[in-house]
Structure 1
Amino acid sequence: MTLIFAAALAMALQAPPASGWTWSLYEGEGPMVLANDIPDTANLRATLQCLPGSGAVTVAVYGENAASGFARISAGGVTAASEARLGRGGKLETAIPVDHPAFSAFVAEGRMTITVGDDASAITVERPHLAKLRRFADRCAG
């Protein structure tokens, strides 16, 4: 029994650490940001940003091999079209109104896909973080 416990403990200690990726809501002066990041680092997968009450959200995905052009933003079977532009560090950025049905479906389900040409980037907000997404959307609404 002790040997089994010791082996299990050794395996647990050798397991790689958790990735640390989470959704963080940053509020304060200026824009409000919901970020899929590793807190206290510069590592980002995606950000949603708005000025409270503006009615529009800027969506950015990082590290994807995408091109500028028109983006299809899809969630819950609904699609929006928006211009997409490339920024520094491989950031693909586009915008969507808070009251668009595709954004509403994203808030309800936590899944959105941004497609430019043949390149698709998925954003997933896991169930434990959906309350942050709802708060973000409520505060951004105009």
Structure 2
Amino acid sequence: MITILAAAAALGLFGQNAVAVPAEAAWTWTLYADDAPVVLANEVPDTANLRTTLECSPGSSVARLTLYGGEPATGMARITAGEAAAVAQSEAARGGALRLALRTDHPVFAAFGVSGRLGVAVGEQRRTVEVPAAHLAKLRRFAELCSG
């Protein structure tokens, strides 16, 4: 009897693990370009879980970057990608998010489109946005749709 219960418990655990998706695998980059505004989101689809959003009005050449999680910070932000750098005013947003605006025609945004890596520093707080190579085409399309 104990052997049967142990086997059933093992099968139950195996069954749960077989269908469980690692938490990191659920995160993806999604481009929403059907309506204004255009949004590129690092999210778990069909949930309210967001890490990062880039949002713009088509043709405006201005991307609004929102970083979720972490401590909100306000003040001047230093934004870097590759060898390029920019400075922008950051502000705290709902839910403790950090928000700033960056021109899509700025060299730092162009470098971000190539490398997929953007650094944001506000005071002592450092955050990084990373777009994997498989999703860089979405980032470039976002920039194309936003540029005027």
Counterpart in the other structure of 2:17:
14
Matched, 1:127 2:133: yes
Q: Which of the residues 116, 123, 126 maps onto 2:122?
A: 116
Question: Larger C-alpha radius of gyration, 1 or 2?
Answer: 2
The RMSD of aligned alpha carbons is 1.7
Amino acid at match of 2:40: L
- The structure in which a higher percent of residues are helix is 2
Percent identity over paired residues: 46
Could you tell me how far apart the structure 2 residues matched to 1:79 and 1:96 are? 11
Matched-pair contact (CA < 8 Å) for 1:73–1:113 = yes
Counterpart in the other structure of 2:10:
none
Post-superposition offset of 1:87:
0.8
Counterpart in the other structure of 2:84:
78
- SS for the counterpart of 1:41 is coil
Report matched runs for 1:44-123 at 5 Å.
44-123=50-129
Post-superposition offset of 1:69:
0.4
Post-superposition offset of 1:27:
1.5
Matched-pair contact (CA < 8 Å) for 1:66–1:116 = no
Deviations along 1:10-63, one digit per CA (max 9) or x if unpaired, are: 879637522200000012222000000001100000000001110110001000
- SS for the counterpart of 2:114 is helix
Post-superposition offset of 1:64:
1.5
Amino acid at match of 1:99: D
- SS for the counterpart of 1:35 is strand
TM-score (normalised: structure 1): 0.88
Unaligned runs of 5+ in 1: 1-9
TM-score (normalised: structure 2): 0.85
Unaligned runs of 5+ in 2: 1-12
* Aligned residue pairs, count: 134
Deviations along 1:68-101, one digit per CA (max 9) or x if unpaired, are: 0000111012110000000111110001111110
